[in-house]
Structure 1
Amino acid sequence: MSDSIVSKPGVTVLASKISKIYVDEITSKVEAIKPIRPQGPLLVGFLANADPAAEMYASWTKKTSEGMGFRYELRRVDNKDFLEEAIIEANRDPEVDGIMVYYPVFGNAQDQYLQQVVAKEKDVEGLNHVYYQNMYHNIRYLDPNNSLKSILPCTPLAVVKILEYLKVYNNLLPEGNRLYGKKCVVVNRSEIVGRPLAALLANDGAIVYSVDIDNIQKFTRGEGLKFTRHHVEDLGPFSDELLQKCCSQADVIITGVPSEHYKFPTQYIKEGAVCINFSSNRNFEESVKTKASLYVPMTGKVTISMLLRNMLRLIENAEKSKTPQ
């Protein structure tokens, strides 16, 4: 047996490989709605910053969406003070099926306001407060007849789909409980990804340790999954000791720290854990594969697939809403 096999037992799984399983599904649905969208659905992306990661994401989105039959239009807004008006104009345009904004724009609470400016009927990123409230309360539909599916934020949803692909979800358990018995660590508690991801995983039955620079919180549905949605417990201020304790039994470690300098300590990873990074910066050292069984270094291409699935769902919901239930 070679030294390389001994020293690095882990396997790297690329997002591009995982995203391929959704391409046929998405492409066939785009083809099926040709009678109502003969030229393909139109997705508009707004770019009002100079972030290289946003430029890269926009380029990926264009290439991926056009490759599956969508139309994509990048609208650059040089003066971000005019972004709100540009979004409202797209909300009113019947030709536009989906809207996304490349954040951060202002990098503060004003970004949260902009998320609510996007009409929920066109919000492919799933950031509208209606979708967020449903997600946090573990409500999966928008209507009492359970015919209009609620939209989930696309990056947290991408991580869930990656975990399903990696067989972390137990399909022998009932839907909604398939992470029962699993322990996860999420290093990031942003309102865009980290917190909703912790909620989604806990709502599916996991014990989730949510980590940020201030403290560590525990998301869980209680002993025996007695609650219908997650509850949050504050475990105390952040410390390396507390982080290491949470990681010692973690089946999954997920990072999303937006810094090229941050590296998750490899020695904290339990033997055989699954490690996923959703930051545009690689949060794990190459040595991650000496401890992790499966390692996903980036999630971007799965995120774009989820964004396009969300867009198709919005169109489907809009068509169903035209028909009396």
Structure 2
Amino acid sequence: MAGVTDKSFRSVLRDHGCPLLYTEMISDKALTYGNTNTLELLDISGESRPIVVQIFGSEPDVMAKAAVLVEEKGASIIDINMGCPAPKIVRNQEGSCLLKMPERAVEIARQVVQAVQVPVTVKMRIGWSPEEIVVPELPQRLEAVGVQAITLHGRTRDMFYSGKANWSMIKQTAQALSIPLIGNGDVWEPEDALRMLEETGCSAVMIARGAMGNPWIFSRLIGWTKTGQLAPPPTARERIEQGLIHLERIVAQKGEYRGVREMRSHLAWYLKGLKGASKVRGDINRAPDYNTVIALLTEAMERLKQ
């Protein structure tokens, strides 16, 4: 979710009741070097707690130093990324590459746990490939050094985001741990989240790509668990209105030029499947400023009323 879960996006999910939010993943070295752009990723000021800050790296001592900085900034929980499959991350022996180096992975977790007072968790995948599955052994070793929860994406690194997440591996791992196991992968609708809980016995569900352009997945799911009634999906108008709110917040956070451009992907997700969405997306991608995007979205909303 790098490039997605910034402060404005988190504020939208919070409006829809998401109970635990994560930052984008943050480089340990960039943090310890005081990189300006990285410090922006770490900006959690004014946000309600709890909030999780996720860090990534490959050197135990540097990760420990970064964790201390993150704790000082007010993180409720520190999450170690051992799941990112991106080639540029893996080339640096970070993210899911750590699944190929279990001794290094365990030592990183050990040193981070010892360096901070807040809970430490790990986000990981089931393995590097079908021939190199690391669950439940690696999660058990992480638990032994003090990690307090594991989030498990039911894919291997070589799958990236293709194919189907292996929920049976999530179930096996949940049964092998004493700490909470958070299931992740292929949760697109509220029904998927409840099915994952029932089928795997995991303690909680992490919703990631399923929330892009669809913050209602949280409010509908929470409402369903409280009332027994599943609210209908958002209307076209509600989706565009939410896009307008999100646009206003990202521009306030990052300025007009950058905010308008970074919002293009989010608006594509909000508009997905709507009548005439392709043309509107194209127009938005060429729009030079905030007011033009507002006008395009307002016009699209008016057309949908006809």
TM-score (structure 1 length as normaliser): 0.32
TM-score, normalising length from structure 2? Answer: 0.33
Higher relative contact order (CA 8 A, sep 6+): 1
Structure holding more helix per residue: 2
